Structure 1
Amino acid sequence: MSFFNQRGIFLQLMRPSPSEPNTLVSLQLARKELSWDAENQQQVEALVDSVFFTATSKDLGNSFSIGNVNKDVDRDGVIGAGDKAKLEALAKAYAAIINP
């Protein structure tokens, strides 16, 4: 996350291996909150409002599926298929990046 943007998305890609036949993308959406640590006299950064999802692909990253999405990630006021579709599209786009 940058100084100017207090929201962030953290992604981790795990390609298929002998122990895991699927492509997995771990997604964490969070907000950075700044506070003051009076005892140490320094500013402290903390991630708050974090939500985690795991997207799974059985076709080497061509399509992804996510289980239950119970958070309004696109902030349209509705928790549903739109949120799930956006997260799955994000996982697919990230898996397609060769050199992140």
Structure 2
Amino acid sequence: MKKLRLCLVAVASMLAAPSHAADAKAGRALAAQKCQVCHGIDGIAKMPVAPHLAGESDIYLQTQLKSFRSGKRENEMMTVVAKDLSDQDIANLAAWYASIEISVKVPE
């Protein structure tokens, strides 16, 4: 119960935090400069060690980028790429990759 309460407080804090109006178009331009080599401009990873980002949750993408930027999460490449991103850059990148629609075909 205590963990649930803490989780609810964390979510409420995120919702109460000032939001940055995300610009997916600006995110696409930034992705072309910083992300496309590994993750692709279309969000489909071009390297086997990089995850696909297309259609991923905006909140998840922002959380991960902020974790790389702060050093809470470490990866040799992502730590370097994320360290100079502003909150607005992160919001824009997340908006871009979250806006990409993906489809899934389940095998029969």
TM-score by length of 1: 0.30
Compare CA radii of gyration and give the structure with the larger one: 1
Higher relative contact order (CA 8 A, sep 6+): 2
